[in-house]
Amino acid sequence: MQKQQTIIEESLKALMEDESFLPDLQAQTREQAFKSLVALLSTPNHIHKSFLRVSLDDNTIVRIPAFRVQHSDTVGPYKGGVRFHESVNEGEVSNLAKLMTLKNALHELPFGGGKGGVVIKPQEYNIRELNLICKKYVQYFDDILGPDKDIPAPDVGTGEREMDWMMGEFKNIHPGQPYRNSFTGKSVVNGGSLGRREATGKGVYFTFRYMMHNFLNENKKWLSETDNVFANTALTHHDRKLSVAVQGFGNLGSVAALEAYQCDYLQNKIVAVSDHNVMLYNNDGLDIPALIKFTEESDGELPTTEEELEEHEVKAEIRERDELLELDCDVLLLAALEDQIHEENMDRIQASMIIEGANGPITEDADRYLADKGVLIVPDILANAGGVIVSYYEWIQGREAQFMTEDQVYERLFDKMKYTMDTILPQFFGDPFPLRQNCYIHSVMKLSTIMYRQGKLY
């Protein structure tokens, strides 16, 4: 995630060299503004850390490290998920909080950026203990959370069950006060939004489909006349069958894979999917609905034996999990974890286009290496905002106590993502920066302008 910092600084530098950006600033003050903005955007406003005191069922008491990082409230209340995972640490949570600030600014949501984390392996705790951990999280961070202060949501290891529990605890602690919007990603009966669970996966595929179908169709002429290397990559893959490999078949990966499988606009063939155990491969295309059905009955796991495949009439070869990244395919859709493509494997990546469903799945070195080769990377900040966009709709629906249908939610989600794409794509295909850099420039420009106008640079 070091690349975040590098790209923020490069984006600010590019902006400061452009005289139409904050034209009131003269040369010397531009230099000072640059330094101030680097400092303000690089560091979080607050890092809150606690050790949750939890009494386990075997009567031992444990102290579990927990974090809430509030990166920036420039645009609105802090907003970002709470992750339950054994690898959670302060640096990771801080980087993810920063990414939320940039993502919310890019998609013009009225939120700042935050993130939380608890250092546990959820599978090692029973349901009562997990419930207690959620309640303790709210008790320990109670004074900094709230519908207009900091609004957590699900992340890796948490879901609507945990958000319901946390909101319930928030309500207990604040009787008579508004509580419904203190958390998003809740179950529908508790004020959650229809469509929230599928929103990120649908949004991830939508960004790709919109770029490769709608945008290319409308802009083919001028794109074919530019010498932009990424325009060339996109056009080379336009209007032909695309082979797609999906890493990670959880909430995000399975929904995005299904969207790709069912897409009426692009002809996709999903040649491979993987989870933490296995990769399944079929050069003629996998039956994604059958695999989703399997995972619904197997606690989310893909089939790992020939018998399981046969029983569910899925035709696939069982292969080593990590071979997926190096397959000869057109598109890699990364929907598992951070840092999956790195210095060790970057030169063996064969896909020409990569969609980042997960946050930060490509390291800084690999990102540069692939961009230099003309690989078109649709970055996390652009592609995986569907969850936070629908969280925003959940927040509005909770305030107004008026609820949208699932179709209305998706219509507004796609409109919002289309708006962002229409802002970014013409600029991207018109200059030499990778798409990630273009998105960062847009976010940094918005955040810097607001900070300047709010008098934060003095």
163 or 335, CB closer to ligand NAD? 335
In this chain, which residue has its C-beta nearest to ligand NAD?
250
The residues in 252-281 that bind ligand NAD, with binding defined as CB under 6 A, are 252-253, 274-276
Q: How far is CA 151 from CA 22, 176, 221, in A?
A: 31, 18, 44
DSSP 271-326: EEEE-SS-EEE-TT---HHHHHHHHHHTTTPPP-SHHHHHHTT---EEE-GGGGGG
Q: How far is the CB of 387 from ligand NAD (least distance, A)?
A: 3
Instruction: Report, in angstroms and rounded to the nearest whole number, the Rg of the chain calculated over CA atoms.
Output: 22
Q: Active-site residue among 98, 115, 135, 416?
A: 115
- Which residues are part of a known binding site for substrate? 79, 103, 391
Residue 4 interacting with ligand NAD (CB under 6 A): no
Q: Is the CB of 268 or the CB of 274 nearer to ligand NAD?
A: 274
102 binds ligand NAD (CB under 6 A): no
What distance in Å separates the CA atoms of residue 101 and residue 96, rounded to the nearest whole number? Answer: 9
CB atoms within 10 A of CB 374: 15
Cross-strand pairs, 244: 270, 331
Q: Which three-class secondary structure string do you get for 339-371?
A: CCECCCCHHHCCCCEEEECCCCCECHHHHHHHH
* 169 vs 275, beta carbon nearer ligand NAD: 275
Of 117 and 248, the one with the shorter C-beta distance to ligand NAD is: 248
Shortest spacing between CB 412 and ligand NAD, in angstroms: 17
Window contacting ligand NAD (CB under 6 A); options: 64-72, 250-258, 263-271, 420-428? 250-258
304 φ, ψ to 5°?
-120, 0
Using CB under 6 A as the binding rule, whether residue 184 contacts ligand NAD is answered as: no
β partners of residue 81? 153
Q: What is the DSSP string of 373-441?
A: TT-EEE-HHHHTTHHHHHHHHHHHHHHHT----HHHHHHHHHHHHHHHHHHHHHHHHHSSS-HHHHHHH
Using the contact rule CB under 6 A, the part of the chain among 25-33, 114-122, 219-227, 243-251 near ligand NAD is: 243-251
d(CA 448, CA 21): 10
Among 387, 434, 437, 441, interactor with ligand NAD by CB under 6 A = 387
DSSP assigned state of 338 = S
**Part of the chain binding ligand NAD (CB under 6 A), chosen from 121-129, 161-169, 283-291, 355-363:** 355-363
Q: Which two tokens stand for residue 120?
A: 């546990």
Select the residue interacting with ligand NAD from 47, 62, 290, 337 (CB under 6 A): 337
Task: Give yes or no for residue 321 binding ligand NAD (CB under 6 A).
Answer: yes
Q: How far is the CB of 335 from ligand NAD (least distance, A)?
A: 5
The reply on whether position 359 binds ligand NAD by CB under 6 A is yes
> Tokens in use for 128?
């009562």
Binding mask 137-176 for ligand NAD (x = CB under 6 A): ------------------xx--------------------
Based on CB atoms, which residue is closest to ligand NAD, 169 or 356? Answer: 356
Q: Which of 77, 152, 195, 357 binds ligand NAD (CB under 6 A)?
A: 357
Q: Please confirm, yes or no, whether 115 is among the known catalytic residues.
A: yes
- Letter for the amino acid at 406? E
- Name the binding residues: 79, 103, 200, 251, 391
Q: How far is the CB of 452 from ligand NAD (least distance, A)?
A: 30
Q: Is 11 in the site for ligand NAD (CB under 6 A)?
A: no
**Known binding-site residue numbers for NAD(+):** 200, 251
Nearest-approach distance from CB 200 to ligand NAD, in angstroms: 3
Length of the chain: 458
Q: Which residues contact 402 (CB under 8 A, 6 or more apart)?
A: none
Shortest distance in whole angstroms from residue 394 CB to ligand NAD: 12
By the 10 Å C-beta count (0-12 exposed, 13-18 middle, 19+ buried), 223 is classed as: buried
**Contact between 30 and 9 (Cβ < 8 Å):** no
Residue 54 DSSP SS3: strand
Q: For 324, what's the count of Cα atoms within 13 Å in the CB-facing half-sphere?
A: 33
With contacts defined by CB under 6 A, how many residues of the chain interact with ligand NAD? 22
Binding residue (CB under 6 A) for ligand NAD from 251, 397, 437, 448: 251
97 binds ligand NAD (CB under 6 A): no
342 interacts with ligand NAD by CB under 6 A: no
Q: Which residues are catalytic?
A: 115
Residues that bind ligand NAD (CB under 6 A): 155-156, 200, 247-253, 274-276, 321, 335-337, 357-359, 384, 387
